[in-house]
Amino acid sequence: MKRSFIREILEAIDEETISFAGGLPSEKLFPRDDLKVATLTALDNPKIYQYGISNGINELREQIASRYTKEGFPTTKDNILITTGSQQAMYILAKFFENKDITIEEPSYLGAMNIFRLNHLNMFGVKLEDDGINVEEFEKSFKETKLAYLIPDFQNPSATTYCDEKREEIAKIVKKYDGILIEDSPYSELFFDKKNIAISSKLPKNSFHLGSFSKTLVPSLRIGWIRADEELLKSLMIIKESIDLHSCGISQYILAEYLKDEEKYERHLQEIRDDYAKKANYFSEQLNKIMPEFKHQKPKGGMFLYGSFEEGIDTFALVQECLKKKVVFVPGNQFYIDKVPNPEIRFNYTHSNFEQIEKGIKLIKSCL
């Protein structure tokens, strides 16, 4: 195993460096005042200080369940397991499926691939196309692995979102082979036009749907969850209990307090979507103007813009040069099982301001 390139680069850079590398939400959009009020109220509750149950506090599980149900995916609190970020959700699942074969998208989320390696899962990559995974290749692989890890909404790193047809087809294939889908969806609320239907909603007995408050509220609370069939969830409890007994109670009660006002949360989500949509547009425009040789699709949501130069440009070498000029991004090879250098780049556009975006792209161009 190797450390995550992204975490290493975040440690290496200084204040002056323009970073398009980490998947950091915009700090300006953290609802600090509302969270402060929620925290003070939550701290008055004596239960906040005590050990809690392993699957998470009832209030929060009910709130999460009710959001699923409203979206047409019937869910109760018994379908929800609170985890320490969705990163832990993945760890629990990887432990549960230790040593198994798994179908993943290529490119895929670096943090998941590292967890799979750590738990000796054998990864089989299937090419991601502009409207989702290549379905034929997916079926060929899934037939063998019977387990898949997909990020169908504004994927990290590629920003790809599956079209409705591919969502249907994937669900059919998972059912046909009676396999399991792990659907990781921390970006689903960050849509610029419309919210997509979770593939898991068509597969309630054959899926684990992962969510998180890291991208919609604040990542430091470290609260995520797994939505699954009650029986399936029970089998994960032993792993969750062994890891940390339960996720931080203080974070959970603060969140439950904050989420009591649903309209306020909705307004907050809309504010993020509007801000990120503007930044995604600006980033894309500046790329087209300053570095047109970098081909990309304008994101429809999420936090990333992904694209590629022509074959022959090694973006892993490029980022080493850019680091000297104080601008960084993540080279595409990091998102592949076999990290052979390639011409792709993932840019995070949510954390920088307009001035930094323009300056950063100009600096990259000068290193090219």
Q: Footprint of ligand PMP on this chain (CB under 6 A)?
A: 23, 85-87, 109, 111, 151, 156, 184, 186, 212, 214, 219, 224
One-letter-per-residue 3-state SS of the chain = CCCCHHHHHHHHCCCCCEECCCCCCCHHHCCHHHHHHHHHHHHCCHHHHCCCCCCCCHHHHHHHHHHHHHCCCCCCHHHEEEEEHHHHHHHHHHHHCCCCEEEEEECCCHHHHHHHHHCCCEEEEEEEECCEECHHHHHHHHHHHCEEEECCCCCCCCCCCCCHHHHHHHHHHHHHCCCEEEEECCCCCCECCCCCCCHHHHCCCCEEEEEECCCCCCHHHCEEEEEECHHHHHHHHHHHHHHHCCCCHHHHHHHHHHCCCHHHHHHHHHHHHHHHHHHHHHHHHHHHHHCCCCEECCCCECCEEEEECCCCCCHHHHHHHHHHCCEECEEHHHHCCCCCCCCEEEEECCCCCHHHHHHHHHHHHHHC
Nearer to ligand PMP, 31 or 224 (CB): 224
Residue 351's nearest CA partner among 291, 300, 303, 307 is 303
Nearer to ligand PMP, 111 or 363 (CB): 111
Nearer to ligand PMP, 109 or 116 (CB): 109
Nearer to ligand PMP, 150 or 357 (CB): 150
Tell me the closest approach of the beta carbon of residue 21 to ligand PMP, in angstroms.
12
Tell me the closest approach of the beta carbon of residue 292 to ligand PMP, in angstroms.
28
Tell me the closest approach of the beta carbon of residue 178 to ligand PMP, in angstroms.
26
Tell me the closest approach of the beta carbon of residue 112 to ligand PMP, in angstroms.
6
Tell me the closest approach of the beta carbon of residue 204 to ligand PMP, in angstroms.
21
Tell me the closest approach of the beta carbon of residue 219 to ligand PMP, in angstroms.
5
Nearer to ligand PMP, 211 or 309 (CB): 211
Tell me the closest approach of the beta carbon of residue 85 to ligand PMP, in angstroms.
3
| Position with the least CB separation from ligand PMP | 85
Nearer to ligand PMP, 136 or 244 (CB): 244
Nearer to ligand PMP, 162 or 309 (CB): 162
